[in-house]
Chains A and B, each alone.
Chain A
Amino acid sequence: MTEPVIQVEGLYKNYGTVAALRGVSFSVEEGEVFGLLGPNGAGKTTTVEILEGMRTPDSGLARVCGLDPEKSGSQFKEMIGAVLQSTSLPAKIRVKEAIDLFANFYRVHGNTNDLLKRFQLEEKRDAFYSQLSGGQKQRLAIAMALVNNPQVVFLDEPTAGLDPQVRREIYDIIEELKGGKKTVLLTTHYIEEAERLCDRVAIIDYGRVIKIGTPRELKHASAGTTRIEVRLAKPVENGVLGQLDAVANAREFDGTYVLHSTRAPHTIVALVKHLESDSNELQSLEMFSPSLEDVFIELTGRRLRD
């Protein structure tokens, strides 16, 4: 067994009275795409930026390629690349200039024209940063994260705020990285992204890792349940839906009832019968095969996107 490329043990971090991290531990092997999945405020950015050497933990251990990110200086920075969640570039810098500029800071760096081509920024090479769309800015940010051909890449919510089609473009780019044997740490609050891109996922909530595994393992752990989401004409009493046939658990989020069922057909028949006897009515019903969202609901009692 080789050493993990990223090693995190018992990280704690407070901002004043806010406990952002409360003992985060995980490790990432070489060549893995590892996801931190969690809602806003879970502590993803704090964790990643500690690993980038941008923030100081109160306690705990963080190592990247065996180095302490905070103390290893240039040697460390030459090895990593990152897309930050909150950052910007000067409004009047041109796309090509930005890549050239950052490339020049590194001892080893890729060719700007290749990067422009690879990230479909060729026709935008002379555009000002302020003229780019959200997706183009993000492609530029990823290109800049890769200028030094880093061994480890950190992507902090690389698709947040982009529309679904643009998001999928970025997925293709990240999948390409996977082929390149780089170690990638990706944070996201999109289930789809974690499921599609990550070899392994750590689900993180309120500054703690609550579950780690491959997307498949995690879904398996949610016992092969189907998620049934219904809206009803009248509210029902708490707990009634949880009593229905084959229902593992039932919760209500803003008027939508979310049931996890081990045998969906049985549950649906039971539900309809119950509603008839209660002179209630079904307004809508949707079924979902198990996803990481269900794992999250089961573990935390909340939905990922609220």
Chain B
Amino acid sequence: MISSKKAKIRVPNRLSLPGQNFETLWDILKDAIDHIYADQVGELSFELLYRTVYTLVLRRKASELYGHLKSYLGDKLDELGQKSLKGVKGFELLQKLFEIWKSQCHYFKLISDVMIYMDKVYCKYERKVETYDMGLESFKNHIINPIKGHIDEAMLSDINKVRSQGSSEAPQADTWRGIIAMMETLEDEKDNYFSAHFEPVLLQETENYYKNAVNYEELSPVEYLETMKKLKSYEFSLDQKFINVDSTVKVTTVLEKVLIWTEQFMDAVPVLMRDALTNNNVELLRELCSLSSEEKYCTKILGCIKGCIWEDVTSLTVDKNSRKRAQIASQWTNRIIGIYNYYQSLLSTVDLNFFTFEGQDNSSLNVIHEVIGNYLKEDAVQTCEFIALHLDMYAKSTEDKRDINNVKESLEDCVKLFKLISEKDLFENFYKKLMSKRLLHQRSSIKLEKWLVKQIKSEMGNFFTSKLDGMLRDISSSTGLSHFFKPQENTLPNCIFTSQILTMTSWPFQTANILDENVILPPQMHHYKEQFEVFYNRKYNDRTLRWAHHLGFMEIGFQFKNGYYEISMPIYGAIIFLLFEQHEELTAEQILDLTNMPEQELQRQLISLSLAPKSRILKKKPLSKTISPQDTFSINYGFTSPTQKVRLQTIANVTTKSEAQSQVGQDSLEKERVIEVNAAIVRIIKSCKKTDLPSPNLPSKRA
């Protein structure tokens, strides 16, 4: 193959123009540029010019050509700048500059079309900017840079002039936009000239302008807000006329900085917010929230909202000394719920989700929860007690089935509070106690109780309701059991016996008093007791049945002189009352012997039977306020009552029983907590053991 080299055809010469050195060829192009600048394009021959460029590039003169072209363009532009722009200022400068820019772009385009072969072959491979862009660069260096300051000044003073007139029409805006477009077209290092140079200047100037535009200190908060809104929307509409969206956003940010981040406004915000929230002013609230989307501002707004809610809830007063604790509790709870609902509906009108930062959920609901939750935490014992009491009141007052749905509706709101309660075990404790009483005394509808427990379960979790569930289970299984228990007909025909079998662990009572075992029951009752024990043992062979008389109660019908009354009373009371079936009159001492009751209990019962104003079914001699062993008792046949059914209230124990009881509750709660904590520690230690580490890091884990 190599040997045949001589026979090969020579590659044809490139198709360039013959002869002529660089200078002559360059002169042709220079002349063409002169013509272009003189708007005499029609006289030029593209064919000739293209061939000239082509020839120069082929002769590897491209870099020389490029250099010449650049410096010649530079000269042209210098001359032009000297001629047209020197000494011109203000808006006239902008107009002239814009004119020159437009015509130069046109010229650059023509020149680059002539230089197309160089662009394609030389610039692309040598990584030089193409002719057109080179022209733009020269334009920046030779026209813009010498009068940079003048242009900025002219633009800014012109813009400020329009701002100060506040007119919505800006006839100059077209020229501004042209100049801005020019700046955006011109390259600067990395970025375009506009964002690298003019934008910062514009932002700075905007800041200065608005700082001094209005005497803000004279304005009231509401006026300030109005002014701010006006300025913002004005500036926004003005910006849209001549700068792009991104820059508009930047200007808006600057404006916010000037207008919002002043001490004055920062002071005004809480006032305005208070106003908006107190007067249910949705408009104002929305405005405040939409003023800025900056994190700092949003945090501020959120803080204000939280502050207002806090103020509202802490202003609730509780009369701790009042006797009607349940009523106060209910009032208090209702008011908390009221505040909750008020804020919920008000804040749902603004989209606080907008303020979500770093994964923190700032929805309106969360804000309310946070604040109210904090408030509820302040006095956790009172909170739990009050809410439990509130529920208790509702539960007790509804025995009618029709009411249940209404009550459910009104309790729905209360349910919302459940999840805000931080010391859930405390609440459970209170609730359990009240619930057990309701259940035993059949003071509420089982359906409602079940519903309530379900709500608590869904808000607090299974852990806290296992005992409540147990109680409900006991009640329903007892009903079944009573149903099956059919004592022999001959015992006592007109007596109805209802058993309530309570699982010891579920109920908040201390172990049944051992003394109960020793109480001597009236024969009928004793009969029942034995029969039931037999029945129960047959059914559940290995279960221990222990009687808790102090929890039971009994209803006795009796014909007094003035009418027949059905009196319900505690078992102990009934035992005493039934003694008078056989005895006309008994002394306290005798009663004690006959019943074998604990003395203290006897005293309590006797006081409530004979001294309590509404339920005096026993007469006492002598009529004193205390019970002494020698006092005699007999049935008070003159007893009257407005209703046929009478509930006999056992008076509170001589000691302040409720306090003692709650004290006991607290103690047991403490114990339970200690147990839980211990269990948690053990679990952690166990897991640590696997890695054979002692537990120096335990405290940190607990934290």
Do A and B bind? no
A-contacting residues of B (Cβ < 8 Å)? none
